[in-house]
């Protein structure tokens, strides 16, 4: 049994992670702002992670074997957590994102299309951190989501108080109504209603992961391995927007229709005109086994179709 602290963990794959940690016999503590109660048997600390004094007060004298941070978006948040947990844990796991590799958002090494992007393309141990940017501004943070994640990783990677791993998640799908991003629902709505999906003139593939598989990987990263550094988390089998549409069309019994985005018009989510498909070889070499996207995607789409039908009933 290990003592595990989860920051966030109140919805989607974070909620599932808490359940699986508890089922595995670990002593689990959840920290959030109190809007969602924790399951029975899970300790619940109410604190705003942005308030360092309140966070430290809530922690008291508690220590943990591992902290899993589900909701760190800025270097400021990371710095607060690094100071608060420096003497309270031996290991820190942060949930990060595929977006750290988006070449539009930073000057990154060029990876030819068709070549999966390895973890070393973004090295948080050398990434520059700028605490004086307006990270507190919601609009700024939304526009700089990828850089916020890169710099948050960098703060932890350059901190000396604990071992650190960053799980860089692919686009997460599955769970029907629980999938709060609404991206799969966006496609389901277009296909079932017979409206056109806006795509780039030339589209490139991306990678996905089922929310249950991501919870499994986070459980593995937190309790079953001592791996440090960055870990790409994606199912095998990249898909482009047309592949996704075809799976939805097959499940819905409808035809997916498309139109090209006009100049400066945003395309639908998962339509990409730039390459940053992740390479998951490192996690495999370390012992984690991934599913294939096409094995679970039809089920995830069926859940999304059911959730859409239920919401309009």
- The secondary structure of 282-298, three-state, reads HHHHCCCCCCEHHHHHH
CATH of the domain at 98: 3.40.50.720
- Distance CA(204)–CA(241), nearest Å, equals 8
The model carries a pTM of: 0.95
- Distance CA(122)–CA(115), nearest Å, equals 15
Residue 313 has pLDDT above 70, yes or no: no
Buried b (16+ CB within 10 A) or exposed e, 179-207: beeebbbebbbbbbeeeebbbbeebbbbb
Q: What pLDDT sits at residue 312? A: 73
Residue 20 has pLDDT above 70, yes or no: yes
Q: Is 61 helix (H, G, I), strand (E, B) or coil?
A: coil
In this predicted model, what pLDDT tens digit does every residue of 195-234 receive, in sequence order?
A: 999 999 999 999 999 999 999 999 999 998 899 999 999 9
The secondary structure of the chain in percent helix, strand, coil, rounded to multiples of 5, reads 40, 20, 40
**Which of 144 and 224 is assigned the larger pLDDT?**
144
Residues near 143 by beta carbon (within 8 Å), at least 6 away in sequence: none
Task: Report the mean per-residue pLDDT for the chain.
Answer: 94
Lowest mean pLDDT among 63-67, 86-90, 178-182: 178-182
Count up the domains in the chain and report the number. Answer: 1
Q: What pLDDT sits at residue 178? A: 85
Helices within 108-267 (DSSP H only)? 138-143, 145-157, 183-193, 211-223, 241-252
Angle CA(10)–CA(16)–CA(19) in degrees, nearest 5?
A: 95
Q: What pLDDT sits at residue 309? A: 83
Q: What pLDDT sits at residue 291? A: 98
Q: What is the residue range of 180's domain?
A: 3-312
Q: What pLDDT sits at residue 10? A: 79
Span 16-26, average pLDDT: 94
Nearest by Cα to 119 from 292, 283, 239? 283
- Distance CA(143)–CA(164), nearest Å, equals 26
């Amino acid at each position: 049994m290990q003592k595990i602290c989860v920051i966030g963990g109140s919805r989607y794959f974070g909620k599932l992670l808490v359940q699986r940690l508890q089922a595995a016999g670990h002593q689990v503590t959840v920290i959030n702002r109190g809007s969602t109660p924790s399951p029975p048997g899970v300790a619940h600390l109410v604190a705003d992670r942005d308030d360092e004094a309140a966070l430290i007060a809530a922690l008291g004298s508690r220590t943990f074997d591992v902290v899993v941070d589900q909701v760190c978006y800025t270097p400021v948040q990371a710095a607060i957590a690094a100071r608060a947990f420096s003497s309270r844990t031996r290991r820190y796991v942060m949930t990060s994102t595929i977006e750290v590799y988006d070449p539009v958002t930073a000057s990154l090494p060029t990876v030819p299309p068709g070549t999966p992007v390895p973890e070393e393309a973004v090295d948080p141990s050398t990434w520059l951190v700028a605490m004086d940017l307006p990270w507190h501004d919601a609009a700024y943070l939304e526009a700089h989501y990828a850089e916020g994640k890169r710099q948050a990783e960098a703060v932890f990677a350059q901190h000396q108080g604990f071992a650190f791993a960053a799980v860089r998640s692919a686009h997460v799908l599955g769970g029907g109504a629980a999938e709060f991003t609404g991206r799969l629902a966006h496609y389901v709505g277009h296909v079932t209603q017979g409206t056109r999906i806006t795509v780039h003139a030339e589209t490139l593939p991306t990678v996905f992961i089922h929310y249950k598989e991501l919870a499994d990987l986070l459980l593995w990263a937190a309790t079953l391995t001592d791996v440090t550094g960055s870990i790409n988390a994606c199912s095998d089998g990249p898909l482009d927007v047309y592949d996704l549409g075809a799976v939805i069309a097959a499940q819905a019994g409808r035809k997916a229709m498309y139109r090209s985005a006009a100049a400066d018009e945003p395309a639908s989510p998962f339509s990409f005109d730039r390459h940053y498909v992740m390479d998951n070889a490192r996690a495999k070499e370390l012992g984690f086994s991934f599913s294939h996207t096409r094995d679970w995607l039809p089920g995830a789409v069926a859940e999304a179709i059911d959730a859409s039908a239920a919401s309009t009933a």
